[in-house]
Amino acid sequence: MNLAEDNIISFESSGTTLDLAEIQTLIPHRYPFLFIERIENVILGESAVGIKNVSVNEWYFQGHFPDHPIMPGVLIVEALAQTAAALVMKTLTVQNGGEKPGNLVYFMSIDEAKFRRPVVPGDVLRLKVTKERSRGHIWKFKGEAWVGEHLAHDSMFTAMITQK
């Protein structure tokens, strides 16, 4: 089974694109802890694809690992969570008539996490998040991190929407 062929339709251009400025209006993360630069294919309340250009200048490569730089898996998970949080906040903003609600999205849990290949400088991460379900203030997502046609990571994770 070729995972890329099964998922390629997910990367076709559709939905809305969010640039860095809009992402920063939706979630509170800032450099050096903002791990997405753009979000494509936003289908409100359903799915989105975050983009992370992995540069050799990233701060974490100084220690992980100096002679063989690899993006830490926990930061790949964080990039997926940030993509999901922006999707949730964009959805709530549209549902709220364009006014951003006073909410934050907190990471709650991760299940079935698998790291399938290293992510290295020069890679472009495509961070696909798909809502599996939502009940009240709890949303569950399937997350996949792709480099080209290769699946680097996949997991299920849960987020909670709270008031500031």
* CATH number (domain holding residue 145): 3.10.129.10
Per DSSP, the three-state class of 34 is coil
| φ, ψ dihedrals at 90, nearest 5° | -65, -40
**Higher-pLDDT residue of 101, 45:** 45
Q: Active site includes 64?
A: yes
Per DSSP, the three-state class of 152 is strand
The structural domain count of the chain equals: 1
8 Å CB contact between 45 and 16: no
Alpha-carbon radius of gyration of the chain = 15
Q: Is 84 exposed, middle or buried (0-12, 13-18, 19+ CB in 10 A)?
A: buried
- Token pair belonging to 126: 């495509």
Catalytic hit among 29, 64, 137, 150: 64
pLDDT digits (tens, 9 = 90+) for 87-114: 999 999 999 998 888 899 999 999 999 9
* Percentage, residues of the chain above pLDDT 90: 85
Owning domain of residue 28: 3-163
Q: In the prediction, which pLDDT does 61 show?
A: 95
